[in-house]
Amino acid sequence: MPKLKFEIVTAERVVYSDDVDVVIAPGIEGQLGILPSHAPLLTMLQPGEVVVRKAGEETAIFVSGGFLEVMQNRVTVLADVAERVEEIDIARAEEAKRRAEEGLRLRPPEMDLAAAEAALRRAMVRLKIAERKKKRPGSGGAQGL
């Protein structure tokens, strides 16, 4: 079976680039599983994890949002921010989560509610991914998906 040429790029760097078998991504209209020979697609992403499977091994990468393009077995994610599991800063994510929750609870008048909610969602996804990685040390990340 042909492989997918998969790449996650941010404005700052190429985060991940490899030939893979499957890509699972958090599309704006729901979770997407992409196999080779997928039709051309352009979708927005929501904050979540992109999981790639290669020879039975899985790798999870956090993305904060962006775009995903499928084109002739090339899958490209244009991410706003992307982090590999081992790069996630747990302390910072906890802090961001706490701040966002506090903001949502107190609701100061000048606060942008949507932004706080988005921040909370990003922090929680980061923590979830990092958490799962911790429980299975040595594995490539999400195995139970």
Partner 1 sequence: MATIREIRRRIRSVQSTAKVTRAMEMVAASKMRRAQERTIAARPYAERMGQVLADLAAQRQAGDEIHPLLIQRPVNRIAVVHISADRGLCGGLNANVNRRTVSFVLEQSVPVTLVAVGRKGRDFMVRYGQEVRAEFTRLGDRPSILDILPIARVVIDDYTDGLIDEVYLSYNQFVTTMTQRPVLWRLLPIEPATIEARLNVEYIYEPSPDEVLAELLPRFVEMEIYHAVLESIASEQSARMVAMRNATDNANELIEDLTLTYNKVRQEMITKELLDITGGAAALA
Interface positions with partner 1 (CB under 8 A): 7, 9-14, 27-29, 39-44, 67, 69, 71, 76, 78, 80
Q: Which is nearer to partner 1, 31 or 136 (CB)?
A: 31
Minimum distance, C-beta of residue 93 to partner 1, in the bound complex (Å) = 16
Nearer to partner 1, 126 or 133 (CB): 126
Query: In a 10 Å sphere around its CB, with 0-12 CB exposed, 13-18 middle and 19+ buried, how is residue 138 labelled?
Result: exposed
Q: Please enumerate in sequence order all residues whose Cβ is within 8 A of that of 57, keeping only pairs 6 or more positions apart, or say none.
A: 140
Between 41 and 113, CB nearer to partner 1 = 41
How far the first Cα of the chain sits from its last, in Å, is 22
**Nearest distance, CB of residue 74 and partner 1, angstroms:** 10
Least Cβ distance, residue 37 to partner 1 (angstroms): 14
C-beta neighbour count of 126 within 10 angstroms: 26
Of 78, 71, 77, 67, the closest CA to residue 37 belongs to 71
- Cα 43–Cα 44–Cα 50 angle in degrees, nearest 5: 90
Which CB, 1 or 39, lies closer to partner 1?
A: 39
Q: Closer CB to partner 1, residue 52 or residue 141? A: 52
Instruction: Give the number of other CB atoms < 10 A from CB of residue 36.
Output: 15
> Least Å distance between CB 70 and partner 1?
9
CB of 41 to partner 1, least distance (A): 5
